[in-house]
Amino acid sequence: MQRAFRTCLTVLAVLVPAFFAGCDRRAQDGAAPHGDSRTLVLVTTTDTPPYSYPDAATGEIVGIEIDIAKEAAARLGCRIEVRKAKFPDLLPMVSTGEADLAASGITITEGRRQAVDFSIPYATEGGMFLYRASDRMPTMIRAETIRVATMDASTYDLYLTSHNIDPIRYDSYARAVADLKANRLDAVFFDSCTVRLDAERSGGALAASRLETRENFGIAVRKGNTRLKAALDEVIASRGAK
C-alpha cells in the first residue's frame, strides 16, 4: 500500500510567500463561525484513498490530504477537526464559512477559483475507468453504451458530459464501487490514483483502464484566508523537496 501511495503522490515544489504565524482567523474572516478560533474544520467525503479515507483499524479519517492539513494547522498553532460531507457540498461549505478547508481529490479549475482559493497542487492525477476485470475495458467511445457512474458535480462528471455521456451520478464513490461489484454498473469514472488502488486491492476482480484526463489536485480554502493558504503551500512545497 505504501508503494502505491508513493507512486500516486506527485507533489509540485514551488517557492511560496513568507509564512506568518498565528491562528486567529477572525483577523481575516470576521468572527470565528466555529466558536473555537484555534480549531480549523476540514470537510471531505472520506472515501477517496489515498487522499482521505477511514483507517481500517481505528475508523479515524486519515490520508495524504489530512496529513497536509494537520501539518499546516500545527504551523498556525491550530488543530484540525474533520467532518464528512457530500462532494457537491464541499466547496459551498468553504465559501460560506461553514468550513475552513475542503479536500477530497478536488481538481483545481478556473471556475472553482471564483468561489474559493486553492493551495498549490499536491498531486497530479487524471480520470480513468474502474471496471470488472472479466469485462472489456471501457473507453470514452464505449462509455456511451454502458452504465457508467461518477461523482456528482465533479470534473469527471463534466468531462463525461462534454463527451455526450450521461453518467449515473453518486454522492459517494464507495457506493458506486459497491454497485459496480454487484453488477449494477459497468464502470466508475474517477481519479486515477483511487481507481488504481481499488483495482490493486480487489484481488484481480477489478481493473483500471488507461488514463483519459490529467488534472491538478489542491486543498480549497475560503477566499482571502491568506495565512491558511500560505501554510498549506509551505507544507506541500516542503514535502516536494524531501
Pick the CATH number of 127-213 from 3.40.50.300, 3.40.190.10, 1.10.3720.10, 3.40.50.2000: 3.40.190.10
User: What number is the average pLDDT over the span 40-64?
Assistant: 95
The more confident residue out of 198 and 5 is: 198
Domain boundaries, the chain: 2-123+216-240, 127-213
Q: pLDDT averaged over the chain? A: 87
Instruction: Report pLDDT for 37.
Output: 63
Q: Band the pLDDT of 240: cuts 50, 70, 90.
A: confident
Task: Please check the confidence at residue 155 and state whether its pLDDT lies above 60.
Answer: yes
Q: What is the pLDDT of residues 71-86, one digit of tens each?
A: 999 999 999 999 999 9
Q: Band the pLDDT of 23: cuts 50, 70, 90.
A: low
User: What number is the average pLDDT over the span 220-230?
Assistant: 97
Nearest to 198 by CA among 168, 171, 174, 167: 174
Alpha-helical runs (H) found in the chain: 2-8, 26-29, 64-75, 90-95, 110-113, 155-162, 173-181, 192-201, 226-240
- Say yes or no: do domains 2-123+216-240 and 127-213 share a fold: yes
Instruction: Report pLDDT for 35.
Output: 42
- CATH match of 2-123+216-240 with 3.40.190.10: yes
